[in-house]
Amino acid sequence: MEAVTIEKLRMLEAKHGTKPAPKKRRLKVFYGWARLGKVRKRESISIIFENEEGAGCETQRSHKTLKKMQDTVFERFQTDEEAQDASFCRQVFTEYCVFMDEKSVNGSLEKALQINSERDKNHVSKQVRKEIADKLRTSFLTSHQGYVEPIRQLEFDFL
Protein backbone atom coordinates (compact mmCIF):
# COMPACT_ATOMS: atom_id res chain seq x y z
CA MET A 1 0.00 0.00 0.00
CA GLU A 2 2.79 2.41 0.88
CA ALA A 3 4.67 1.64 -2.33
CA VAL A 4 1.58 2.53 -4.36
CA THR A 5 1.07 5.88 -2.63
CA ILE A 6 4.76 6.81 -2.93
CA GLU A 7 4.66 5.86 -6.60
CA LYS A 8 1.50 7.93 -7.14
CA LEU A 9 3.10 10.89 -5.37
CA ARG A 10 6.12 10.66 -7.66
CA MET A 11 3.88 10.51 -10.74
CA LEU A 12 1.87 13.52 -9.59
CA GLU A 13 5.03 15.46 -8.80
CA ALA A 14 6.47 14.63 -12.21
CA LYS A 15 3.23 15.57 -13.94
CA HIS A 16 2.48 18.80 -12.10
CA GLY A 17 5.88 19.49 -10.61
CA THR A 18 6.71 22.43 -8.49
CA LYS A 19 6.98 25.48 -10.66
CA PRO A 20 9.97 27.67 -10.02
CA ALA A 21 9.12 30.99 -8.46
CA PRO A 22 8.98 33.79 -11.03
CA LYS A 23 12.07 35.94 -11.08
CA LYS A 24 11.64 39.21 -9.30
CA ARG A 25 12.57 42.21 -11.35
CA ARG A 26 15.05 44.39 -9.56
CA LEU A 27 13.68 47.76 -8.54
CA LYS A 28 15.37 50.95 -9.67
CA VAL A 29 16.32 54.32 -8.22
CA PHE A 30 16.20 57.38 -10.49
CA TYR A 31 18.28 60.52 -9.86
CA GLY A 32 17.54 63.79 -11.59
CA TRP A 33 16.29 67.34 -11.31
CA ALA A 34 12.65 67.94 -10.43
CA ARG A 35 10.58 69.42 -13.22
CA LEU A 36 9.09 72.78 -12.30
CA GLY A 37 5.57 73.80 -13.24
CA LYS A 38 2.30 75.00 -11.78
CA VAL A 39 2.50 72.68 -8.80
CA ARG A 40 6.25 72.45 -8.23
CA LYS A 41 7.87 75.78 -7.76
CA ARG A 42 11.06 74.86 -5.87
CA GLU A 43 14.15 73.58 -7.63
CA SER A 44 15.51 70.36 -6.16
CA ILE A 45 17.48 67.18 -6.68
CA SER A 46 14.85 64.48 -7.08
CA ILE A 47 15.49 60.85 -6.05
CA ILE A 48 12.67 58.50 -7.02
CA PHE A 49 12.41 54.89 -5.82
CA GLU A 50 10.30 52.26 -7.57
CA ASN A 51 8.02 50.35 -5.18
CA GLU A 52 6.18 47.88 -7.40
CA GLU A 53 7.74 45.20 -9.52
CA GLY A 54 4.89 44.81 -11.98
CA ALA A 55 4.16 48.50 -12.50
CA GLY A 56 7.68 49.81 -12.80
CA CYS A 57 9.16 51.87 -15.60
CA GLU A 58 8.81 48.99 -18.03
CA THR A 59 5.26 50.14 -18.73
CA GLN A 60 4.59 53.15 -20.92
CA ARG A 61 2.30 54.78 -18.36
CA SER A 62 4.87 54.62 -15.54
CA HIS A 63 7.62 55.90 -17.80
CA LYS A 64 5.40 58.84 -18.73
CA THR A 65 4.70 59.58 -15.05
CA LEU A 66 8.40 59.51 -14.23
CA LYS A 67 9.13 61.87 -17.13
CA LYS A 68 6.58 64.35 -15.74
CA MET A 69 8.21 64.26 -12.31
CA GLN A 70 11.89 64.70 -13.16
CA ASP A 71 14.61 65.02 -15.77
CA THR A 72 16.41 61.75 -15.08
CA VAL A 73 20.20 61.79 -15.35
CA PHE A 74 21.17 58.53 -13.59
CA GLU A 75 19.57 55.15 -12.85
CA ARG A 76 20.74 52.39 -10.55
CA PHE A 77 19.25 49.24 -9.05
CA GLN A 78 18.09 49.26 -5.44
CA THR A 79 20.01 47.30 -2.83
CA ASP A 80 18.23 44.49 -1.01
CA GLU A 81 17.70 46.70 2.06
CA GLU A 82 16.12 49.44 -0.02
CA ALA A 83 13.91 46.92 -1.83
CA GLN A 84 12.61 45.57 1.50
CA ASP A 85 11.25 49.01 2.34
CA ALA A 86 9.34 49.01 -0.95
CA SER A 87 7.13 46.13 0.20
CA PHE A 88 5.50 48.42 2.79
CA CYS A 89 4.63 51.20 0.33
CA ARG A 90 1.35 51.58 -1.49
CA GLN A 91 2.49 54.01 -4.18
CA VAL A 92 4.25 53.05 -7.40
CA PHE A 93 7.00 55.61 -6.76
CA THR A 94 8.43 57.27 -3.65
CA GLU A 95 10.27 60.56 -4.07
CA TYR A 96 12.83 62.27 -1.87
CA CYS A 97 14.13 65.76 -2.62
CA VAL A 98 17.04 67.99 -1.68
CA PHE A 99 15.67 71.49 -2.18
CA MET A 100 18.09 74.16 -3.39
CA ASP A 101 16.45 76.85 -1.24
CA GLU A 102 16.67 74.96 2.07
CA LYS A 103 18.50 76.78 4.82
CA SER A 104 21.27 74.18 4.96
CA VAL A 105 21.81 74.33 1.17
CA ASN A 106 21.12 78.04 0.57
CA GLY A 107 21.38 77.78 -3.24
CA SER A 108 24.74 75.96 -3.25
CA LEU A 109 24.95 73.17 -5.82
CA GLU A 110 27.98 71.59 -4.13
CA LYS A 111 26.24 71.51 -0.73
CA ALA A 112 23.13 69.89 -2.25
CA LEU A 113 25.28 67.23 -3.94
CA GLN A 114 27.14 66.63 -0.67
CA ILE A 115 23.87 66.15 1.24
CA ASN A 116 22.63 63.71 -1.42
CA SER A 117 25.92 61.78 -1.25
CA GLU A 118 25.73 61.55 2.55
CA ARG A 119 22.20 60.15 2.36
CA ASP A 120 23.36 57.41 -0.04
CA LYS A 121 26.55 56.42 1.75
CA ASN A 122 25.05 53.31 3.40
CA HIS A 123 23.76 51.82 0.14
CA VAL A 124 25.97 53.12 -2.67
CA SER A 125 29.72 52.86 -3.21
CA LYS A 126 31.85 56.00 -3.21
CA GLN A 127 32.64 55.64 -6.93
CA VAL A 128 28.94 55.45 -7.90
CA ARG A 129 28.11 58.40 -5.62
CA LYS A 130 30.81 60.44 -7.37
CA GLU A 131 29.39 59.46 -10.76
CA ILE A 132 25.87 60.49 -9.66
CA ALA A 133 27.16 63.85 -8.39
CA ASP A 134 29.07 64.49 -11.65
CA LYS A 135 26.02 63.77 -13.79
CA LEU A 136 23.74 65.92 -11.63
CA ARG A 137 26.30 68.75 -11.67
CA THR A 138 26.69 68.58 -15.46
CA SER A 139 22.93 68.59 -16.00
CA PHE A 140 22.44 71.56 -13.65
CA LEU A 141 25.25 73.62 -15.18
CA THR A 142 24.01 73.06 -18.75
CA SER A 143 20.56 74.38 -17.84
CA HIS A 144 21.89 77.25 -15.66
CA GLN A 145 24.56 78.88 -17.83
CA GLY A 146 25.34 81.84 -15.54
CA TYR A 147 25.40 79.88 -12.25
CA VAL A 148 27.98 80.99 -9.69
CA GLU A 149 28.46 79.12 -6.43
CA PRO A 150 27.25 81.39 -3.57
CA ILE A 151 29.78 82.60 -1.05
CA ARG A 152 29.17 80.87 2.26
CA GLN A 153 30.26 82.00 5.66
CA LEU A 154 32.66 79.86 7.60
CA GLU A 155 30.80 76.86 9.01
CA PHE A 156 31.78 73.90 11.13
CA ASP A 157 30.75 70.33 10.39
CA PHE A 158 30.57 68.25 13.56
CA LEU A 159 30.05 64.87 11.92
Q: How sure is the predictor about 33, in pLDDT bands with cuts at 50, 70 and 90?
A: very high
Q: Is residue 105 part of a domain?
A: yes
- The rounded distance, in Å, linking the Cα atoms of 44 and 33 is 6
- The rounded distance, in Å, linking the Cα atoms of 29 and 24 is 16
pTM: 0.77
Q: How sure is the predictor about 58, in pLDDT bands with cuts at 50, 70 and 90?
A: low
Question: What percent of the chain has a predicted confidence (pLDDT) above 90?
Answer: 40
Pairing of strands 93-99, 70-77: unpaired
Q: Is residue 98 part of a domain?
A: yes
How far is CA 31 from each of CA 19, 134, 157, rounded to the nearest angstrom?
37, 12, 26
| Residue 153 confidence (pLDDT) | 67
Q: How sure is the predictor about 27, in pLDDT bands with cuts at 50, 70 and 90?
A: confident
* Higher local confidence (pLDDT), 60 or 124: 124
Give 90-140 pLDDT, tens digit per residue: 778 889 999 999 988 988 999 999 999 999 999 999 999 999 999 999 999
Q: Is residue 118 part of a domain?
A: yes
Q: Residues near 42 by Cβ (< 8 Å), separated by ≥ 6? A: 34, 36, 99, 100, 101
Q: Is residue 6 part of a domain?
A: no
Counted domains in the chain: 1
Average pLDDT over residues 65-90: 86
Average pLDDT over residues 15-42: 79
* Pair 66, 29: CB distance under 8 Å: no
Give the Cβ contact number of residue 81 at 10 Å. Answer: 9
Q: What average pLDDT is seen over the chain?
A: 83
Q: Is residue 16 part of a domain?
A: no
Q: Is residue 15 part of a domain?
A: no
Q: Is residue 104 part of a domain?
A: yes
Q: Is residue 150 part of a domain?
A: no
Domain coverage including residue 126: 28-143
- The single-letter DSSP state of residue 156 is -
